[in-house]
């Protein structure tokens, strides 16, 4: 039995980001085939006509979703980590907590599935994952690991965070301690 889609109460308008987030929800729940303007509008409590205030057409929405996922849900995590002024091991811990707290990896699985059937989604997915792997490698090099070890630890961190998000770790009361245990394994020499 399919879960009922989350519907936001009726309202007069939604922001561009509201549309993007609702589209990511639909993408996760129903796949790319389920991404329809009417369904997303209903979820937002709007008419489909309001869609055109923000997007030219469905392709424009989908292109915008990819950019939002890549920039807002990957880029800002990296930017925040770069701004962090503490020790390298703490920078990694803070990043790991932020990814889980913000559900930043939540759309990853849906984007990965979409990427198997769409060239634009595939390019975006590869670019974002490459960026995550490269940045996480740098994080572990900053901590003093040799490049091959830093790379494998960085990849393990990225994949762990993607997996824990998919498994709804954030719903567990003790999620910070779970992430701290992952962190300790990754940073211990």
Instruction: Indicate whether 69 and 158 sit together in one domain.
Output: yes
pLDDT of 1 reads 43
- Can you give the CATH number for the domain in which 17 is found? 1.10.10
Domain that holds residue 115: 57-187
Instruction: Indicate whether 20 and 77 sit together in one domain.
Output: no
- What is the CA 61 to chain-centroid distance, rounded? 17
Segment 100-109 mean pLDDT: 94
What is the per-residue pLDDT across 48-93, written as a single tens digit (0 to 9) for each?
A: 888 999 999 999 999 999 999 999 889 999 999 999 999 999 999 9
Percentage of the chain exceeding pLDDT 70: 94
Instruction: Indicate whether 70 and 159 sit together in one domain.
Output: yes
Rg of the chain taking only CA atoms, in angstroms: 18
Instruction: Indicate whether 144 and 158 sit together in one domain.
Output: yes
Mark out the alpha helices in the chain (DSSP H runs).
16-30, 37-44, 58-70, 76-83, 88-101, 108-115, 119-142, 147-166, 175-187
pTM confidence score = 0.88
Looking at the structure of the chain, the number of domains it has is 2
Instruction: Indicate whether 131 and 173 sit together in one domain.
Output: yes
12 pLDDT band (50/70/90 cuts)?
low
């Amino acid at each position: 039995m399919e879960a009922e889609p989350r519907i936001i109460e009726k309202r007069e308008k939604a922001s561009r980001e509201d549309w993007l987030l609702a589209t990511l929800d639909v993408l996760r729940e129903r796949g790319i085939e389920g991404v329809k303007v009417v369904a997303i509008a209903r979820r937002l409590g709007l008419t489909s006509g309001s869609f055109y205030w923000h997007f030219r057409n469905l392709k424009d929405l989908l292109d915008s979703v990819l950019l939002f996922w890549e920039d807002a849900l990957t880029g800002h995590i990296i930017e925040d980590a770069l701004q962090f002024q503490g020790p390298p091991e703490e920078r990694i811990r803070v990043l790991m907590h932020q990814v889980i707290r913000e559900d930043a990896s939540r759309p990853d699985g849906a984007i990965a599935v979409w990427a198997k059937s769409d060239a634009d989604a595939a390019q975006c997915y590869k670019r974002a994952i490459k960026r995550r792997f490269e940045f996480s490698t740098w994080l572990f090099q900053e901590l003093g690991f040799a490049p091959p070890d830093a790379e494998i630890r960085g990849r393990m961190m990225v994949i762990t965070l993607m997996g824990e998000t998919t498994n709804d770790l954030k719903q567990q009361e003790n999620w910070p301690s779970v992430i701290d245990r992952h962190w300790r394994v990754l940073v211990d020499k």
